[in-house]
Amino acid sequence: MNIAIAGTGYVGLVSGVCLAEKGHHVTCVDIDEAKLELMRQGHSPIYENDLEELMRNNNAAGRLHYTSDYRSAYAHADAIFIGVGTPEMADGSANLSYLSDVCRQIAESVEQDCLVVIKSTVPVGTNDKVERFLHDFQKHPVKIEVASNPEFLAQGTAVHDTLKAARIVIGTESAEAEAVLREIYEPFGLPIVSVSRRSAEMIKYASNGFLALKISYINDIANLCELVGASIDDVVEGMKYDSRIGEKFLHAGIGYGGSCFPKDTSALFSLANSLHYELKTVDAAIQINRKQKLRLFQKARERLLTLQGLKVAVLGLTFKPGTDDLREAPSLVNIPLLLEAGADVYAYDPAGIPHFRKKYPSEVTYCASVKEALTDADACFIFTEWPEIASLEPGMFKSWMKNALVFDGRNIWKPEKMAESGVEYYSIGR
């Protein structure tokens, strides 16, 4: 099929590349000409495993194109996928301004019957409003339908999550729209869950809300473990064999971040409030996560008389490994506190430094290696479990640091191993 993609962020670009990989002819639309030229050369504007290789292959095969001319891209598309951002507003609700801008362009451009597919995470009922909006502003007498097709990709594994998804959720209000989406996804050979548009919208929020709940729950239990003298590692080991619970998203640490969980839980809670319903479980997850990000700093303040003038190594800036995304990362909460307390912060991250430097161009010393950050440091904070950080031997902290004092927010090492190497080690729930 001839498919247009509105937006080339994580959702839009990954979706477009993977659709092209399955044989569709895809045109990605963006307003940034420099970004478009970069993609035409086969370079990804986002840090994502396997994405550039697929871009180059499909560019060369002539199935993948990039343009700022939205009129030509949308005019004769069989389907238009919308993957623009829906960032959180001050009140927790979703900002739909980017979505409305794209819908206005689509309405004015389409010259044949087409299906508009919303992949962006949007409040329940948005698809209905979009369809009415498109009909209000369309310039040509063609049939425009709207379908919901939420994404479930995780940054760092987005390509795999798209090509090897556990399921594809489609929300439609007609047999014709469902048939188009089934045809588009037929080459993927994956299970398809076909529901109404509103149910599809809710599936996305309910899924992310549940995963956020699991993370906050195990972090809450980890904090209690510290008080009663239990080990969260042992507790999870005993829980994970129960098939009703499983082991995923039960890794204690300093909370979740990224572009999805914080935004989607806030949006879900805001939606419920607007309907005079209180989602107490989701609110609890949000509150626990907010406090959890401060656990390491609190431990450091309890241990140290002062941070003034100390060299503090920070390992990991991004919210998770495998991405350069800083959104809602624990580093963004903790580093300002470290600086305010007078610490000299030396930071290392294999992907996140360019973005972090834009926020703190001179206040932080950026290092080219883990060893450079740790050398002669008085304390170390670990916020992201990148492989080059997680592969450190405990003895390296003792050898390189002035004082082997480590605050680990990702529970990477066994406490007894760190103790054997002479490292004073603080983690979560142990």
Q: Which ranges in 275-347 belong to alpha helices (H)?
A: 280-292, 295-303, 330-340
Mind giving me the DSSP string for 167-221?
Answer: -EEEE-SSHHHHHHHHHHHGGG---EEEE-HHHHHHHHHHHHHHHHHHHHHHHHH
Cα separation, 19 vs 9, whole angstroms: 15
- CA end-to-end span of the chain: 54
Mind giving me the DSSP string for 50-119?
Answer: THHHHHHHHHHTT-EEEES-HHHHHHT-SEEEE-----B-TTS-B--HHHHHHHHHHHHH--S-EEEEE-
Let me know if 28 is a catalytic residue. no
Q: Token digits for 95?
A: 């900002």
Query: Are 292 and 212 spatial neighbours (Cβ–Cβ below 8 Å)?
Result: no
Cα separation, 418 vs 394, whole angstroms: 5
Exactly one of 28, 260, 367, 380 is catalytic; which is it? 260
Angle at 114 between CA 108 and CA 118, to 5 degrees: 85
Cα separation, 137 vs 139, whole angstroms: 6
Residue 407 belongs to what H/E stretch?
Answer: strand 405-408
Q: Token digits for 367?
A: 């290092």
What residues are labeled active site?
Answer: 260
